[in-house]
Amino acid sequence: MILNYKEVLVPFFKKSNIKNSSGAKFTTSKYKVIEFSDEHKETVTCSESANGVVTEDFIHLKKSCLPIFPEVQNKVYNAPLPLKKYKLLNVMELARQYVGDAEMWYYQLVPTCRDTRMPDI
């Protein structure tokens, strides 16, 4: 997780007044969709519309420079969190009204834990 983007990314990117080949200036607040991909690491594709159909490309990286993003060190959860047994039974009862029998297998795979406040059935 990146907590301070400026600290991590400033060494890799141009400072300001970034323009594309058609002369459009890059302004973060102007765009609703901003895409960065592994295929075009030096380019950021931006769109003013939420559907992302009309796009503009901007080259942000300094020449011959590829950003290195930090590895995730401290994960919040290392495994799926178990549900309390009674909670899962309630969820499964509700799901049966909306989900077919063929899809109920998913709920049977959810890990459970014992609720110490309630007696076992």
Q: Helix, strand, coil proportions of the chain in percent (round to 5)? A: 25, 15, 55
The pLDDT value recorded for residue 91 is 92
Are the beta carbons of 85 and 115 closer than 8 angstroms?
yes
pLDDT per position as a tens digit, 60-109: 666 666 666 666 677 777 778 888 988 999 999 999 999 888 889 988 88
The b-or-e profile of 22-54 (16+ CB within 10 A means b, else e) is: eeeebeeeebeeeeeeeeeebbbbbbeeeeeee
- Mean pLDDT over residues 35-55, rounded? 74
Q: CA gyration radius for the chain?
A: 24
Are the beta carbons of 59 and 43 closer than 8 angstroms?
yes
Q: Which residue has the tokens 């590829």?
A: 66
Domain ranges in the chain are 5-59, 75-121
